[in-house]
């Protein structure tokens, strides 16, 4: 069948497209900018943007399924309004276009950040969303984007929402922020670690959840796709067990790391690279919430692989790409 994917050049998208092609699907992708992560793949490319409804109409025509992955992840505020424009307006545009095109099912990729993680405890699909103005712009945008999709569901769109946690794994061409951190650990270029931790999931398990949601998810339902909660220090030690490169010895508290945020921002400006640690990313690491995938496990057959396997395959993929 013909399947359309937005955000296909991103980390999840690059893995999803490969999984769909491997099972024999015809894949069409909405492309905005470079697509080196899809180089050599037999996909139909439609130039466009989620902010351009006409291009979405062209991309979705004749598609049976649409996987909407396009989003702007930010740990530095709303990026001049781009974050809500893409994550809220873009989600609305994509859902509306899917309804117009008569697609059989629309799978919306949200995020665990759509939930208010500051509440702690166990987060499941019934937990409160990120609607407080005190929360990060990205978190609020993912919650608001989900609301827009559900409004279109109320008018007849068959849609399912999947919420991954922190994504790591192979085919990370950019690389992502976590991919960059893993490479810095390997290359001894990360001077210190920060206390705290987060739930990290293999990108291939997220892809499995998305495909299962397209087949077995219930219309209008959300499914959390979590992995394994791990502290930053333990993640570095797990990486060291694979690379044989000792992790940084210095581990600073989140509070102390906040003092260095302005200096990290200045360094990022000079090097034209987004810093790993900002006020928003440090707040994320300070959360103590645990994420439940019980619903996805029961209804979609979702399972998360061991983190060690993810790290081993991630480093192997990057090694294969090194000249």
Q: Can you say whether the dihedral through the CA atoms of 320, 5, 57, 162 is positive or negative?
A: negative
Q: Are strands 122-123 and 197-202 parallel, antiparallel or unpaired?
A: unpaired
Query: Which helix or strand (DSSP H or E) is residue 202 part of?
Result: strand 197-202
Q: What is the rounded distance in angstroms from the CA atom of residue 199 to the CA atom of residue 304?
A: 11
Instruction: Report whether 208 contacts 174 (CB < 8 A).
Output: no
Catalytic residue among 138, 223, 302, 315: 138
Burial class of residue 169 in the structure, from the number of CB atoms within 10 Å of its CB (0-12 exposed, 13-18 middle, 19+ buried): buried
In 3D space, the residue among 220, 89, 88 whose CA is nearest the CA of residue 161 turns out to be 220
Task: Reply yes or no on whether 277 is catalytic.
Answer: no
In 3D space, the residue among 158, 162, 31, 49 whose CA is nearest the CA of residue 106 turns out to be 158
Burial class of residue 134 in the structure, from the number of CB atoms within 10 Å of its CB (0-12 exposed, 13-18 middle, 19+ buried): exposed
Q: Which residues are catalytic?
A: 138
């Amino acid at each position: 069948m013909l399947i359309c994917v937005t955000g296909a050049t991103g980390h999840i998208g690059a893995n999803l497209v490969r999984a769909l092609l491997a099972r024999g699907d015809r894949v069409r992708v909405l492309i905005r900018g470079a697509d080196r992560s899809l180089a050599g793949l037999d996909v139909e490319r439609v130039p466009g943007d989620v902010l351009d409804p006409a291009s979405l109409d062209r991309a979705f025509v004749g598609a049976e399924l649409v996987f909407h992955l396009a989003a702007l992840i930010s740990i530095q505020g709303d990026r001049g309004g781009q974050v809500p424009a893409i994550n809220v307006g873009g989600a609305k545009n994509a859902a509306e276009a899917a309804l117009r095109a008569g697609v059989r099912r629309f799978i919306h990729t949200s995020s665990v950040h759509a939930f208010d993680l500051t509440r702690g405890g166990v987060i499941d699909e019934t937990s409160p969303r990120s609607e407080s103005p005190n929360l990060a712009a990205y978190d609020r945008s993912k919650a608001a984007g989900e609301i827009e999709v559900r409004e279109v569901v109320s008018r007849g769109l068959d849609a399912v929402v999947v919420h991954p946690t922190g994504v790591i794994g192979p085919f990370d061409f950019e690389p992502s922020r976590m991919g960059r951190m893993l490479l810095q650990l390997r290359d001894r270029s990360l001077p210190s670690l920060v206390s705290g931790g987060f739930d990290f999931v293999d990108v291939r398990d997220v892809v499995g959840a998305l495909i299962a949601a397209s087949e077995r998810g219930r219309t209008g339902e959300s499914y959390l796709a979590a992995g394994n909660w791990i502290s930053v220090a333990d993640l570095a030690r797990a990486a060291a067990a694979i690379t044989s490169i000792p992790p940084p010895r210095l581990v600073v508290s989140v509070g102390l790391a906040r003092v260095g945020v302005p200096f990290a921002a200045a360094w990022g400006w000079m090097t034209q690279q987004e810093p790993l640690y900002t006020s928003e990313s440090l707040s994320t690491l300070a959360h103590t919430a645990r994420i439940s995938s019980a619903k996805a496990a029961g209804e979609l057959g979702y399972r998360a692989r061991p983190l060690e396997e993810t790290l081993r395959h991630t480093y192997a993929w990057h090694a294969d790409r090194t000249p």
